[in-house]
Amino acid sequence: MDLSRRDWLKTAALGAGALAAPSGLRADAAPRPHFTPRARHVIVLYMSGGYSHIDTFDPKPRLIREHDQSIGIEEKAAVSGQPKVERFLKAPLWEFQPNRHCGAEVSDLFPHIRGQMHEAALIRSMHADHRDHGEATLQLHTGSTGFALPSLGAWLSYGLGTFNPNLPSHVVISEHRPYNGPQIWDANFLPAIHGGVQVRPGAEPIPHLKARQATELQDLELDLLQRLNRRHLKSADNDPGLAGRMATFDTARGLRDLAPKALDLSGESRATLALYGSRPGDNASYAAQCIMARRLIERGVRFVEIIDAVGACRDNWDAAHRDVGSHAKYAKRVDQPIAGLIQDLKSRGLLDETLLVFCTEFGRTPWAQDGKGTKSRNHHPSAFSCWLAGGGVKGGVIHGATDDIGHLVAEDPVHIHDFHATILHLMGLDHERLTFRHAGSDFRLTNVFGHVVDEIIA
């Protein structure tokens, strides 16, 4: 099984990826999962910048009791070349309340999401390896803090193929350039077809999608192109590489016709729009992006990620040298749309087959960044919170715990590699067997690490 599968993946890399076979053949050539998948699609809701776990999903009463009290000087300067800082605990800025069904406590930053926590498995013991945005964001997306490697979405596309050859298998909705830019959705050494296609909500959501001439004229031109190609193909003994390239023009034509419909929200009911907090005519808000994500998976897209950032890198969840109170702005933007997405997927029967991943690159320090009473919290990869919901996930559970101030993981640590292994597992892939040979090594998303978090799987 193992060896044949590896061969199979190689074939798939050439067949489905490198030289897309004529569209009819492509679905047959799609790779198979290792075992029965619990979910068919993934929607990643990535909060860029690092939200504070202790202000959102991980309540710590001691921080309130001992607000402004010192726990000592840090062992190592947070930033090289700067003096060490004394750590004064800082109370969360928002109150925590339990979800009515499962009791999971979430702060008032996310009242709508709190209302849906019984659908989600909350992990309070996340940890990662790097304290800078660039490296940590890269690790969350590719498993690696240093070298750019293929992204999670690219691995899933490579491992599972697509349901709809007329749409990309891997879509990233990102209004702005995130940390590391397109590296975080790149295919890297995997066949390029698995790389994320960036959608920018607005006039031209996908690059070069719009014909620069009337569609009828472009179709005439494509007919001529394929005539020339067919003639050439005959003289070239039906070289399959040539046939594969011809098929990409058919797919491109399909994309040109189908993608705008997938991203067009004008057919959504007022009730649906209201559920997400959108309104008619809105095609750019975070709510609109969540509806687009649903429309894309309905049309067979395997992996959709929405990268949340209001502006370029600085206008996001980062609260280093910045008032943590700024979280309110970002939470308000995403809270209702995400809760709406969960409910909408559920009412359409799609929640069971769609894995929702709510995540960030690291947490925030339980102490104030610049000394007693200051407003910022610094980056904190040693502990943070993320949650999964939908396909195959046990709803209403809390996994892992941090110590009594939220500084270090105290129980059931879940490293980014474990998080990735679990996502692949829910999608029917064994993270140890999903490999690709490149530059003399067999690479995988989880390097030589990763354990599936069985406790949160239904």
Which residues within the stretch 93-132 sit at the binding site for another protein (CB under 8 A)? 127, 129-130, 132
How far apart CA 243 and CA 197 sit, in angstroms, is 23
The answer to whether residues 71 and 87 touch, using CB atoms and an 8 Å cutoff, is: yes
Q: Which 7-46 positions form the footprint of another protein (CB under 8 A)?
A: 17-20
Binding segment (CB under 8 A) for another protein, from list 26-34, 115-123, 178-186, 271-279: 178-186
Decide: is 449 part of the binding site for another protein (CB under 8 A): yes
Q: Which 60-89 positions form the footprint of another protein (CB under 8 A)?
A: 79-83
Question: Site for another protein (CB under 8 A): which residue of 51, 179, 185, 384?
Answer: 179
Q: Is 221 left (phi over 0), alpha (psi -120 to 50) or beta?
A: alpha
The answer to whether residues 43 and 355 touch, using CB atoms and an 8 Å cutoff, is: yes
Encoded one letter per residue, x for contact with another protein by CB under 8 A and - for no contact, window 181-220 reads: xxx-----x-xxx---x--------xxxxxxxxx-xxx-x
Residue matched to tokens 């057919």: 267
Decide: is 326 part of the binding site for another protein (CB under 8 A): no
R_g (Cα) of the chain, nearest Å: 23
Smaller CB separation from another protein, 14 or 457: 14
For 28, 30, 181, 449, the CA distances from 430, given in Å and listed in that order, are: 21, 17, 28, 12
Q: Which 342-381 positions form the footprint of another protein (CB under 8 A)?
A: 370-371
Look up residue 64 and give its two tokens: 């309130």
Q: How far apart are the first and last CA of the chain?
A: 26
Smaller CB separation from another protein, 203 or 448: 448
Rounded to a whole number of angstroms, the minimum distance from the CB of residue 197 to another protein is 7
Binding segment (CB under 8 A) for another protein, from list 88-96, 228-236, 281-289, 420-428: 228-236
Residue matched to tokens 């370029």: 312
Which residue pairs, CB below 8 angstroms and at least 24 apart, start in 342-345? 342/116, 342/119, 342/120, 342/389, 342/390, 343/116, 343/275, 344/272, 344/275, 344/276, 344/291, 344/294, 345/294, 345/390
Question: Site for another protein (CB under 8 A): which residue of 102, 246, 258, 310?
Answer: 246
Q: Which 249-288 positions form the footprint of another protein (CB under 8 A)?
A: 249, 251-252, 255-256
Smaller CB separation from another protein, 19 or 152: 19
Q: Is beta strand 363-364 parallel, antiparallel or unpaired with respect to 303-308?
A: unpaired
Smaller CB separation from another protein, 114 or 194: 194
Decide: is 329 part of the binding site for another protein (CB under 8 A): no
Rounded to a whole number of angstroms, the minimum distance from the CB of residue 384 to another protein is 14
Question: Site for another protein (CB under 8 A): which residue of 139, 174, 336, 365?
Answer: 139
Smaller CB separation from another protein, 381 or 392: 381
Q: Which 400-429 positions form the footprint of another protein (CB under 8 A)?
A: 417
- How many residues in the shown chain lie near another protein by CB under 8 A? 93
Question: Site for another protein (CB under 8 A): which residue of 134, 260, 300, 396?
Answer: 134
For 182, 310, 354, the CA distances from 43, given in Å and listed in that order, are: 18, 19, 7
Rounded to a whole number of angstroms, the minimum distance from the CB of residue 447 to another protein is 5
Question: Site for another protein (CB under 8 A): which residue of 31, 99, 443, 453?
Answer: 443
How far apart CA 394 and CA 406 sit, in angstroms, is 24
Smaller CB separation from another protein, 162 or 289: 162
How far apart CA 242 and CA 114 sit, in angstroms, is 53
Rounded to a whole number of angstroms, the minimum distance from the CB of residue 190 to another protein is 10
Smaller CB separation from another protein, 169 or 336: 169
How far apart CA 17 and CA 192 sit, in angstroms, is 7
Instruction: Look at residues 87, 90, 86 and name the one whose alpha carbon lies nearest to residue 64.
Output: 90
